[in-house]
Amino acid sequence: MGIKIYNTLTRQKEDFVPIDDDEVKFYACGPTVYNFIHIGNGRTFMMADVMRRYLEYSGYKVKFVMNVTDIDDKIINQAIKDKMEFSDVSQMYTEAYFEDIAKLGLRMPDAAPRVTEHLDAIINLIQTLILKGFAYESKGSVYYNVEKFSGYGKLSGKNTDDLVSGARVEVDETKRNPLDFVLWKAAKPGEPSWDSLWGKGRPGWHIECSAMCMTHLGDQIDIHVGGADLVFPHHENEIAQSEGATGHQFVKYWMHCGFLNVNDEKMSKSTGNFWLLRDVLKRFRPEVVRLFFLQKHYASPLNFSEDLLRDAENAHKRIEGIFNKVQQALELKDNLGSVGRDAYHADVEEFNKNLDRWEKEVVEAMNDDFNTAAAMGKIFEIFSGLNKIASTKKLNDFTLYVLKRARDLILEWNEFLGILHLSRPEGLSKKYEQLIDLLIEIRMEVRKKKDFAMSDKIRDRLTEIGILLEDGPDGTTWKLK
């Protein structure tokens, strides 16, 4: 059974068949960089990363693009509030965003395009839409003429008549129709702006994703992911823009991550019911946060609270403890040698048989619209079984073989789940860790003697072999690259 995806566009689960055999083209809407990202953003971005990794695990080559919205009303307002340049605000929060997602164990996208670096592509796309009759200029701004696009509403299931009657009566004489949305905003005094065919201005939010997606992935892509709040109007408008310009289908599979509530309420800054990802990561290890997210299907709403995270922390402690016990047993096997069949053999045999089933079931769960909740359920079962076996004192060759088999499977799945090993490099044995600590100590000594050439050499050579030293106020720490 191959991968199935629930497609928001068709409202059903479909077999995943990429447009192009060579490469899966995958786009995710990224952050608007006016603040640190919150825990809800963190969930959406992480689940997109899990999907990307699982596709690769399944043998697909994936090109993953995630934009950064670095010009927007929110950024301008934040800059005014902080008496800063808008570009300094966006630069600062872009860096913070990359820091946060790296800490959560996400891989960098293959491209992370920024709006301010794609003005030409955006302007060209708007011009195409004007030439094709889908957009019109009005007082230095450009609007999309929603009436012209017959497919409008197909993603969200909204129909334009209902939308018009439901629309608030806007006093906006520049638009022909209340549903029309802005592609290019005429410059207001004091605001950042760029030259265009329609005078100075800046792009609207929706057009940027169409333009950057098409620039980096082409006119037709396989998967487009975003939060459920983006279905309308953002993604509906992306379809209108891209399909209006090219005349053919833009995205084959639209996927949406569920809402994240905090303490059973909508997350809101004003009520204090609000968590930044970085604040959560100060209190909980990244693996714990990941485990917490993975225990729910990406499309389901998820309730977040400190207590629930504490539960995930306990669950994580348990599986990590079992995993370490298994590792230890495998490391010690040379000393033990074969001790023959023992009383636990029947248990081990049964576990091994169950492992055949679990191995299939984990993959089936992930294939079923990336159902990490079901996959984690199976993995917890494996850990329970492992706990029993790894506790036995007599480990014969067969037991060791089964332990190794389970360990290797877990490590294989960890490639897309990332629930072990993120914040501590346990892939190394204790001796290696001691060796690195010794090198750090020697480096401290040579620095005291002001031999900075030697100190740098030690750091650089370690970097070359994939061990990064980080000098901080509390001394030097290290991590694996």
What are the residues binding Zn ion (CB under 5 A)? 29, 209
Of 29 and 390, nearer to Zn ion (C-beta) is 29
Of 31 and 385, nearer to Zn ion (C-beta) is 31
The whole-angstrom separation of Cα 352 and Cα 206 is: 52
Of the candidates 431, 430, 344, which has an alpha carbon nearest to the alpha carbon of residue 391?
344
Tell me the chain's radius of gyration from C-alpha atoms: 26
Of 65 and 390, nearer to Zn ion (C-beta) is 65
- Min separation Cβ 241 and Zn ion, Å: 11
Helix axis angle, 397-417 relative to 345-367, nearest 10°? Answer: 20
The whole-angstrom separation of Cα 180 and Cα 135 is: 9
Compute CA distances 63 → 52, 185, 214, whole Å. Answer: 9, 31, 13
- Min separation Cβ 149 and Zn ion, Å: 18
- Min separation Cβ 83 and Zn ion, Å: 29
Helix (H) or strand (E) holding 385, with range, is: helix 372-390
Of 241 and 295, nearer to Zn ion (C-beta) is 241
Of 50 and 209, nearer to Zn ion (C-beta) is 209
Of 209 and 406, nearer to Zn ion (C-beta) is 209
- Min separation Cβ 253 and Zn ion, Å: 16
Of 209 and 386, nearer to Zn ion (C-beta) is 209
Q: Are 45 and 37 in contact (CB under 8 A)?
A: yes
What's the number of CA atoms in the CB half-sphere (13 Å) around residue 98?
13
* Sequence-ordered alpha helix ranges (H) in 284-344: 286-294, 306-331, 333-336
In the three-class reduction of DSSP (H, G, I as helix; E, B as strand; rest coil), residue 9 is classed as coil
Phi then psi for residue 47, to 5 deg, are -65, -35
In the three-class reduction of DSSP (H, G, I as helix; E, B as strand; rest coil), residue 88 is classed as helix
- Min separation Cβ 165 and Zn ion, Å: 27
The whole-angstrom separation of Cα 320 and Cα 289 is: 14
Of 236 and 287, nearer to Zn ion (C-beta) is 236
The whole-angstrom separation of Cα 151 and Cα 160 is: 10
- Min separation Cβ 60 and Zn ion, Å: 23
What's the number of CA atoms in the CB half-sphere (13 Å) around residue 288?
22
Helix (H) or strand (E) holding 404, with range, is: helix 397-417
Of 209 and 240, nearer to Zn ion (C-beta) is 209
Q: Where are the beta strands (DSSP E) in 163-306?
A: 181-186, 201-203, 221-227, 251-257, 260-262, 265-266, 302-304
Of 125 and 462, nearer to Zn ion (C-beta) is 125
- Min separation Cβ 29 and Zn ion, Å: 3
Of 3 and 225, nearer to Zn ion (C-beta) is 225
Spatial CB neighbours of 384, under 8 Å, sequence gap ≥ 6: none
Spatial CB neighbours of 356, under 8 Å, sequence gap ≥ 6: none
Of 67 and 372, nearer to Zn ion (C-beta) is 67
- Min separation Cβ 234 and Zn ion, Å: 6
- Min separation Cβ 31 and Zn ion, Å: 10
- Min separation Cβ 27 and Zn ion, Å: 8
- Min separation Cβ 209 and Zn ion, Å: 3
Spatial CB neighbours of 454, under 8 Å, sequence gap ≥ 6: 443, 446
Of the candidates 327, 318, 283, which has an alpha carbon nearest to the alpha carbon of residue 304?
283
- Min separation Cβ 91 and Zn ion, Å: 20
Q: Are 250 and 219 in contact (CB under 8 A)?
A: yes
